Structure 1
């Protein structure tokens, strides 16, 4: 297996996928595994069910999550990249004396509840997981119940006001060490479909397949449902609103963080932070293969 030096040093997936071990943990993965032209074991990453089954194997093998199922229409998160965010925010919190008592607010947890699951199993953190979609909250709660994860470890909360982020979620008497979020990327449904169609085409190209022109709906389903993919104004507007609203809760949260997919959004968002007079801010770069991502972090506390 090739060492992926770009991943965080503590990332258990930096050596790639050990399909022999994963198939032993979850035998249902075995039918999806094959030898590529380099005689290396892999799966078809354009096959939604293969990717979902790989996720189930990874979560069972590394994180003791034996029951993880999400609806067909929901976003299927890549585990190595998702856990990288968790490890990097752990570094952000390294000044805290007792990491076991870390409390995290996950904005937009989705049906997968992936960040709370990874953070809880990797570091023992407790989470409040929020989403604007009742079906996603219901599925996330089902995953927690089936894996016997108690509410004091991961609690799900529905955000009933879609235009709000912290309002209606953060209670007056509670505090968090940090927040995390993977915001909607696109500005419209049309842009989301275009982007995911391109992703689908790239996957087919990597396999040497020819596009059939029938991938549009499948590409959208492969990438997630509408609320997970886009919002009015896209990522920049979403995070700018988050920054503005966060000021109200600056005394209750040590660090606010949010993933930023588009490099061009970094400078405008740093300006937005300056306008809110944050005490500290930083941009942390991450990389998974050829893809470079980052998250922005800010605090109103000294």
Structure 2
């Protein structure tokens, strides 16, 4: 079952960024606003400081944050696409309205805490974020405390880097959904090549070559794992069978279209498993949200 759409109708980032309003919300952004060749306002997306300032402004303006920051070298995610995942997940759950009884698990929440922030502000959900990186979790915990989000967002450390749900979901846990944005590169070399391509695209109008990997950043665990997203999502599917009675929907982003056949084959072979694929478009980029549940837990 496949649906194709632009940014979700409830996504507040469907139009162009209102840099004037964002600059009023977060004044440091004003130092990075410049004119594009058409005379409009923009920022240099190849400048990591500009991207962080934009994200901070977006999170303050749309999501009510008081403060947001990430350690150097960690992923600075593009927010519109992250928001789209949350809004599509709300539709999947049949919960398009504010509902603080919904509880979700965010696999690989990172230092940026983006998914829990958007989910909590947009729908009031309770979110448990997990990560293997203690530095990322420490920064995420600081963001929780600085923004008084402790009643809605909590964190758990995944001690086993080859496990995803195991060791995280306890016997007395129940979740309405699991969400995940897995590392999609298969090696450090592949991740570096991807960063080089992105940097060339963002700075193609400049004569001076930009340093690799600076704009959106990303630590090793955020960008790649052995086997890439095929291994990661496949492992998540295999582990999910153990928690079929504790989770209504499991889901993950899949960045590469060529990785989908292997993932769909495994879902088809998994007993009592129903799955759904939603295409999500942002500009020229298309990613996929794959979601699955087990028939014994089907709701509606």
Q: Say if 1:95 and 1:119 are closer, same or farther in 2 by CA, change over 3 A.
A: closer
Q: Say if 1:288 and 1:106 are closer, same or farther in 2 by CA, change over 3 A.
A: same
Q: Which one of 205, 209, 212 corresponds to residue 206 of structure 2?
A: 209
Aligned-residue CA RMSD in angstroms?
Answer: 1.6
Q: Say if 1:28 and 1:211 are closer, same or farther in 2 by CA, change over 3 A.
A: closer
* Structure 1 stretches lacking a partner, 5+ long: none
Kept in 1: contact 2:47–2:214 (CA 8 A): no
Kept in 2: contact 1:83–1:118 (CA 8 A): yes
Higher relative contact order (CA 8 A, sep 6+): 2
Q: Structure 1 residue 210: deviation in Å?
A: 2.8
- More displaced, 274-283 or 23-32? 274-283
* Structure 2 stretches lacking a partner, 5+ long: none
Aligned residues: 292
C-alpha distance in 2 between matches for 1:83 and 1:133: 23
Kept in 2: contact 1:193–1:220 (CA 8 A): no
C-alpha distance in 1 between matches for 2:177 and 2:206: 44
Structure 1 length normalisation: TM-score? 0.93
Structure 2 length normalisation: TM-score? 0.94
Q: Structure 1 residue 6: deviation in Å?
A: 1.8
Kept in 2: contact 1:285–1:295 (CA 8 A): yes
- 1:224 corresponds in structure 2 to 218
Does 1:162 find its partner at 2:156? no
Aligned 1:236-251 pairs, distance under 5 A: 236-251=230-245
Q: Say if 1:95 and 1:143 are closer, same or farther in 2 by CA, change over 3 A.
A: closer
C-alpha distance in 2 between matches for 1:236 and 1:200: 25
- Alignment deviations for residues 78-100 of structure 1 (CA, whole Å, 9 cap, x no partner): 11111010001011011699833
Aligned 1:99-248 pairs, distance under 5 A: 99-150=99-150, 152-205=151-204, 208-210=205-207, 212=209, 215-216=211-212, 219=213, 222-248=216-242
Q: Say if 1:189 and 1:221 are closer, same or farther in 2 by CA, change over 3 A.
A: farther
C-alpha distance in 1 between matches for 2:10 and 2:98: 19
- Alignment deviations for residues 55-88 of structure 1 (CA, whole Å, 9 cap, x no partner): 0000000100121010111000111111010001
Does 1:93 find its partner at 2:93? yes
Q: Structure 1 residue 222: deviation in Å?
A: 4.1
